[in-house]
Amino acid sequence: MGFPGSPRLLRAGLVVVDSSTLAIQRSIALQYNPDSLSRSLAVRGATGDSGDRLDALRLTGPPVETLKLDAELDATDELETPSKFPDTVRLGLHPQLAALETLIYPSSAQIQSDNTLAMAGTIEIAPMEAPLVLFVWSTSRVVPVRITEFSITEEAFDVNLNPIRAKVSLGMRVLSTNDLNFDHKGNHIFLAYQQNKERLAGKVGSVSLRSLGITGIAS
């Protein structure tokens, strides 16, 4: 048991919600918070290739933000108390890995339904919209994402070859107003994320020009 006066540790994770109602379908907490989170922002701006100098300062939308992290999974502690965790004894980390992997699969029911429609002579089948995935890293960072990279390294196994230690690498792209219709629920979540950034930026005071080594801006 941890020291009773220690702060409660928040865990990063993913929440799967209905894209129309935001009803929660599943929440997945990372067993251990990653040691690092890599973020990259690519500017969306007018290129000015047409020769219009006015384009140099124009932004065409929010930047393309990508996130990368490595998460570790370890069943060792649960295997030390097998009576409390019979599924772990029987299956190892398979359930935890499957919960993450199925985020990038269409459901088997959808695949079967699409095949039935194709066999019935339907000319074109529009893919069904998948549930919306939210990446949660504290209350300040809740963003709609699409998983773009996924790799798993299984590092240890039990006697039945169930993985009991693994590392998952996730790459995600934040879905912004350029990716979703304006009235999409995911777009509302993204705008709240951006507005929070603006509020945080407003807490940083402006430094004096002298601290930058200048006294004014030449006109």
- 1 lies in some domain: no
Q: Residue 89: which domain range?
A: 13-45+57-105+129-197
**How many structural domains compose the chain?**
1
Q: Comparing C-alpha atoms, which of 63, 46, 56, 27 is closest to residue 179?
A: 63
Contact present, 79 and 85 (Cβ < 8 Å): yes
> Does any domain span residue 205?
no
CB 75 within 8 A of CB 94: no
Name residue 45's beta-bridge partners: 59
Question: Residue 66's pLDDT is what?
Answer: 98
- The verdict on residue 26 lying in a domain is yes
In this structure, the number of other CB atoms found within 10 A of the CB of residue 93 comes to 24
pLDDT tens-digit profile, the chain (219 residues)? 455 555 667 899 999 999 989 999 999 999 999 999 999 999 988 765 555 667 778 888 999 999 999 999 999 999 999 999 999 999 999 999 999 999 999 888 888 887 887 788 775 666 677 889 999 999 999 999 999 999 999 999 999 999 999 999 999 999 999 999 999 999 999 999 999 999 999 999 889 999 999 999 987
Give me the count of residues in the chain: 219
The verdict on residue 85 lying in a domain is: yes
Which residues on adjacent β-strands are paired with residue 41?
65
pTM: predicted TM-score of the whole model, two decimal places: 0.86
Which residue in 69, 42, 22 sits closest to 189, CA to CA? 22
For residue 147, what is the enclosing H or E element? strand 142-157
Q: Look at residue 29 and tell me if it is in a domain.
A: yes
Q: Is residue 181 part of a domain?
A: yes
Query: Cα-flanking dihedrals φ and ψ of residue 118, to 5°?
Result: -65, -40
User: Which SS3 state, helix, strand or coil, does residue 49 take?
Assistant: coil
The answer to the question of residue 138 being in a domain is yes
- Is residue 148 a contact partner of residue 170, using CB atoms and an 8 Å limit? no
- Residue at 112 is within a domain: no
CA distance 63 to 67: 13
